[in-house]
Structure 1
């Protein structure tokens, strides 16, 4: 199936410049063409951003595409890849834990460190190469995942929308996002095809690539309930029940294991939690972790920064949650994606609401909702699809310009 020829069962869009002409190619080639074109555009954006970076930008007047690609979290992954994790947590003058490498999972920097051997020890080059290659792999698996529910035409357009999306610069930055998407799409594809055995190693590697495996645990729980309720129309053998439960338990165990590991190494059981909270202290000061509280406080903070009443923030947050839930539950194009991708989207949104504090990096944190691009690509009219692609590219330039070219404040963190 991985090399199944793209069929023309969906009517091509027509025109010498349309994606429809790629439908005659094998999936690996068609996706490669789309992905390469998107990466070339992103490279041009990054080159322009480097030229526009001035003395007031965090990257300075001498910024290059290399420094832009290795900024912010890429630096932390570099620390993990070169020096590992601290045995003693850094603290400030008040004794509060400060930002440190324990917030970043080990799989991406470890693979980058191994790959850097092929580049004479050049970690930054290896990091970008790994991100680009993983991004291509993610897009190819994404195509096959969507082909389980949608036509080849729609699946390829969804790949184009993802590859050229507002956050697509992450496909060629030293971040773990593209590698995580590769594992995620593989896991969803296996779940759709009910190849449960292969999910065991994927859950482990996904959990140690970046936070989010607890959302996959939520997905498995919801998936099990849906399968149970539909067991008369869709038989649920005992062996599948065992796999679903075992995989859910494994995902929960992996999701909490990093806290145990960080605590064992540093001697502080709260090491990971305190490290994560250190990133929000600059926004709201001291405070412990309370489920859902981050989004409530974050909404109020942003509305204060915008000069709007806090009471409006709570109403807006509630309305946004209801709107997202309604789209996932009832929007026809989203429903066409099937229960697995819809349940993942709902689970991941719930996960973010529980654990995350919304700051400017919220855009990056939304990237795992990429399966919804399958719904965005579903309307067949060329104007819609090309318009969505253009909007994505405009959004990508805005993100690169704001976060990398001119970013110099705490509200412009990638």
Structure 2
């Protein structure tokens, strides 16, 4: 039986942006799906108990959102109950045929593309599917982006691992104290907006976006479909061979690697299209206060970097320009997406999703932290559900790893186009670290 706190509250402003998306935007685009093959002596009862602990700890993964003519969008918190997030399998499930790799891939695909009903929940669900008669399972977790950003993924993986590993030893997990809830944080943002506190940030972004060129010409020059289809692809590549050189460059020039990697992206786009005035959207984690570091929620806010390249700029000048502007970008990344995009003053129509056709994401942390004692946890590939813009470069940097992924809109790019982009991008990185004084514009 559904148990809901009868007291409703207003969603965060960024959450309202997601709730207000038009019906033609696929709902599954907001799914964050994680998939693992588990082998060994997993204790399923302890895993369920670990999820219950995390559910009680983070109320945001127990929320639902509903709409009424009188109140608009409202947020309700469901009471914590055992196994609330667990989705059991059909009793007729046959584990003897489920271990096949094609079956596993198909099941992950079905899970990733199954929308979450925000009015019913659960907003986070998990499945533990036996895929052999022995000790092997397919472990699937899907959560909606409306309560879950990239930082949240790290929190969740760490806490579910530490909780399971403590409970299996009949111990209590030692998790960091949560000083406030996610909803407390977004309420502060809403009050800031009501008091006119967004105005200074809106003024900053309107100035940055003044005379913003839209639309940009994309590499490869294919005709754009009349309607944006959200269908896309991705190309993964390693930057590991350049990591030592990047680290040495950053030490020599007192900068961080994300600005070098972003600078290379700007140069790549100029060389492929001839356009020198380019704006690239880049998210900011928005975890500036230490009391936000342990909270699962949708904190990330949009930011952007705009550069006008010229023939007098060296590679190091591009990197320094980005590094210098980063403080202002971070300080003004306080707007929910709908307010941020309004500052561009562009009506994009149905052929585009956003006035920002190029995105850059940098994740300076380990991409996966899920670990259970005495159990092999093997990460499985999750298919790309779709794209929300033309071209996105995502960089993931761990202690001993550095990789990139180009996500692309299939309406104007093909896989070979993006493979060549990645090849040229790596060459530009090599040029930057080998000869920082070289002119960026050829």
Q: TM-score, normalised by structure 2?
A: 0.24
Greater fraction strand: 2
- For the pair shown, which has the larger CA radius of gyration, 1 or 2? 2
Q: TM-score, normalised by structure 1?
A: 0.25
Greater fraction helix: 1
